Amino acid sequence: MQSLQVQQPTAGGPTGPYNPTATVTKPFLNGTSGLAMRSSSPTTIFSKVVKGRNPVNRSGRLGRSGLAVKAILGGLGAFNPLAGVKVKAVVTVKQTVGGFLADTVLVPNTVADLLGTSMILELIPADLDPSTGKQKSTVSSLASFVGIDGSEIKYEASFGLSSDFGKVGAIRVDNLHIREMFLKDIVLDGFATGSVNIECESWVPAKLSGQPRRVFFTTKSYLPSNTPAGLKKLRTDELVVLRGSGQGERKKGERIYDYDVYNDLGNPSNPDSARPVLGGKENPYPRRCRTGRPRSSTNPADETRGLYFYVPRDEEFSEIKTAQFGVKTLYSALHALIPTLETILIDPNLGFPHFTAVNNLFDQGLNLPPYSQTTLTSFLPTLVRNTAEGSNDVLQFEVPPTMDRNSFFWFTDEEFARQTLAGVNPCTIKLIKEWPIMGTLDPAHYGPQESGITKELLEKEIRGYTTLDEAIQQKKLFMLDYHDVLLPFVGKTRELDNSTLYGSRTVFYLTPSGTLKPLAIELTRPPLDGKPQWKKVYTPNSSSSTDVWLWRFAKAHVLAHDSAYHQLISHWLRTHCCTEPYIIAAKRQLSTMHPVHRLLLPHFRYTMEINALARLALINAGGVIETTFATLKYAMQASSAIYGQSWRFDKEGLPHDLIHRGLAMEDPSSPHGVKLTIEDYPYANDGLLIWDSIKKWVTDYVNQYYPDSKSVSSDAELQAWWSEVRYQGHEDKKDESWWPTISTPQDLIEVCTTIIWVVSGHHAAVNFGQYAFGGYFPNQPSITRVKMPDEDPTEEEWKLFMEKPERVLLATLPSQFQAATVMTVLNVLSAHSPDEEYLGGPIEPAWRDEPSVNAAFENFTARQIKIEDEIDARNADSTRKNRVGAGIYPYELLKPFSESGVTEKGVPYSISI
């Protein structure tokens, strides 16, 4: 181990400069218990910190009255011969950027560290005193600064424990620094049974902040019923703190979790920016974290907005992670990007004049203002290039790997169909089970319900293969159905400038080679402006140049619908939005020592902060989603409508989702318990490997703590968590009969596996390929701005289409401003942080310290590594035509591990971007 750097006072005195090269040559882990410079009178130094306070009770516990100096001095090194054990604590604090480190190590406050007045540790026994039935006395000690080891700061403390102290159950920490600190862990050595580990991974506020004192439990997990008696009250008290009172405005640094509706997306004082509240009978939606900000004077139902949205402190990105990558990078890039693009592209509605101009985004880029006028370079180093002359920077986009392999990939019907199975939104295609295709919307408002896609039309397209009846019976017909979900928003969206919208249905046929063949696209406009319903069906096979171009236009509209549905539903709603209630309920109802809390914890990290950013700059009124995706200002209303109509927790697990969409059927004889309707379905093929691996890990974990159904049903914290998820977190769905109960270990396994799959595998599949498939925006346009050329055209419109169809298509696709914005955002969202944690990667300390759980996790990691090899083998198998072929980019989105950056692979533990 390398020597630790220690800052020591020089001859200049306590306020003088520090020598950064001074070192402790003996590693602290081998016994260094202090520094060369230590006050000869620690009582004097400490009295300055607790001036005016009286000693505490005989137990030595820190209370409102202060700390017993005698107890502290005992902890600094004096050892009572009658004590049974001498214990050393090694405390690890993470360095932060501009926070704790700057205020306590690199400035004169280091004196407090050197003199031992920086942190007080109090060991709490796990058991009560058997003779009195009361809490045993605790033991306190000052922690002394030792040095810096890389990105970590080390402290040590010593304790003399009596022979009847028993097991350590928890530790209370008082931070005497000026600011909060990020406490990683505390390791206690000296016990005959081995080290005691206390995993903290949390911010500890400064004692003078007035926030509740922090208590951390050991890595030993307990169900409520077998919690050691000495920890039961601490367990309950900690949850009370986290729930808060439900009153007042939450402040930065607090750790309070509560629920609220989405009433902070708009600005009611501006009619154009006002948005309906999401959450409630009229607009059902999951709940988000309550912030308690003041209500709007214009509309008391809405909260006011600001530059910061409260997130409980432990849900925020660590400052080290933030400095490298993540939510703050995206936030900063957006705030630098929009003004910069507005400077470059004065007309936000200006389209591309020709496809060469589109390619120039990758070949030449957009000239940026002088460096002093933009901060894009700081936040988007992979996209901002220096020109040869060095006078200006350019925003030059990386060529997506799909385009790099085949520059015409986006143009073909084969790729259009393949991406429904192996693209960025492979989870919406469904089997056609009945004929004719019928809608469910009120015909009085939306026109006839029956689809315009007829039997005769489809049989013409599949001539030589089979009949329509046989195709349905043999499960060969599939559909992307964005008809009923989008049609209610067509009229509203068309009232906005530079936009259009349809309801759409796209039908595919499964060919004998296992690939999909597009057969027909139906676009529908409801009755509008006194005109009746407009409905048109387009097909790919035609000898007419006009029909071929109309088919291309129809595909562009469907791709925009798919892009919007992907972003709003497959991505935002099903992963980010629906997960937040699971997190809030877990923090409020499951103690940190609860095994289910510890199972789910790594899968919840950073999600609430990225969701807060979404409310701040992505899904808000005038945000990126509203200005660049097909439903524009009605995006979140559409998301609410679809949540109300179709979201079901019991269908979010991968096998149930596949069965629900008709893409699989139950089959106990199949490797994953289901038989796929389309055998070569890359998302399902690889996803089932991940699902099974997760489920086996969860099964091993749950069985460690729950031997039978009674242990599950009697777990008060567990039942309260799941009840709160249903009745508060997803309150608008609380009366649905499909909610699973958690009565058996098998129930718990299914619920936890579903949650873990959604935040890991499902999110990875719909997130990290966004730039690969949307970076070249004609492949997945976020919006279409002009109606179909044959929808009630004027004479001039039709003439332009006939003479310049390419120009009309480019006018239909996103504007230059929209394209550049979306491409930049997708690039950031698709990137992995340098310190990303992947599923099956780093083990949680609580898992490691339980031998059987540790063994189960090692098996889980081994399975994840094996999955990597299996996916590589599949991508080399030429019989799998949906993932292998000339110019086809291999499907790697569910490969478990990845390097940093935009790699189109890797399955992180959680939704961290």
How far is residue 256's CA from residue 290's CA, in Å, rounded to a whole number?
Answer: 9
384-386 vs 393-395, strand pairing mode: antiparallel
Residue 463: exposure state from Cβ atoms within 10 A (0-12, 13-18, ≥19)? exposed
Catalytic residue, chosen from 767, 779, 827, 875, is: 767
| Longest distance between any two alpha carbons in the chain, whole Å | 102
Q: Under DSSP, is residue 269 helix (H, G, I), strand (E, B) or coil?
A: coil
Q: What is d(CA 514, CA 288) in angstroms, rounded to the nearest whole number? A: 42
Per-state percent for the chain, helix, strand, coil, to nearest 5 = 40, 15, 45
Residues whose CB is less than 8 angstroms from the CB of residue 656 and which lie 6 or more positions away in sequence, other chains included:
650
Tell me the β-bridge partners of 525.
534
φ, ψ for residue 851, nearest 5 deg: -50, -45
Contact 593, 169 (CB under 8 A): no
Backbone conformation region of residue 174, classed left if phi is above 0, alpha if psi is from -120 to 50, else beta: beta
Which amino acid appears at position 607 of this protein? T
Q: Quick one: 241 exposed, middle or buried, by C-beta within 10 A (0-12, 13-18, 19+)?
A: middle
3-class SS at 121?
strand
Residue 301: DSSP 8-state = T
Residue at 78: amino acid letter: A
Q: Give CA–CA dist 410/407, Å, rounded.
A: 8
Alpha carbon distance 416, 191 (integer Å): 64
Per the DSSP assignment, residues forming a β-bridge with 216 are 171
Q: Is 735 left (phi over 0), alpha (psi -120 to 50) or beta?
A: alpha
Other CB atoms within 10 A of residue 454 CB: 16
Based on the residue annotation, tell me whether 730 is a catalytic residue of this protein: no
In the residue annotation, 175 being an active-site residue is answered as no
Nearest in space to 221 (alpha carbons), one of 601, 583, 584, 581: 601
At residue 684, what is the residue type?
A
Closest by Cα among 782, 828, 810 to 359: 810
**Angle of CA points 484, 485, 487, to nearest 5°:** 60
Given the residues 642, 763, 779, 882, select the one marked as catalytic: 763
The DSSP secondary structure of 13-55, one letter per residue, reads -TTS-EETT-EESS-GGGT--S-S---S-HHHHHHHHSTT---
- Catalytic residue among 557, 566, 576, 730, which? 576
Q: Identify whether 913 is a catalytic site residue.
A: yes
603 among known catalytic residues? no
CB 323 within 8 A of CB 349: no
Residue with tokens 């986006």: 410
Is residue 831 within 8 A of residue 326, CB to CB? The reply is no
d(CA 52, CA 31): 35
- Give the list of residues 6+ apart from residue 249 with CB closer than 8 angstroms, or none: 291, 292, 293, 294, 310
**What are the b/e assignments for 337-354, b being 16+ CB within 10 Å?**
bbebbeebbeeeeebbee
Torsion of CA 761, 763, 766, 771, to 10 degrees: -110
Q: Is 875 a catalytic residue?
A: no
Calculate the alpha carbon distances from 510 to 255, 409, 663, 743, 800 in Å: 52, 20, 12, 41, 37
Which residues fall within 8 angstroms of residue 12, CB to CB, at 6 or more apart?
Answer: none
Catalytic: which of 177, 483, 566, 571? 571
The answer to whether 279 and 265 are in contact (CB under 8 A) is no
What 3-state class would DSSP assign to 650? helix
Nearest 5°: phi and psi at 506? -125, 125
Burial category of 271 from C-beta neighbours within 10 Å (exposed 0-12, middle 13-18, buried 19 and up): exposed
Catalytic annotation, residues: 571, 576, 763, 767, 913
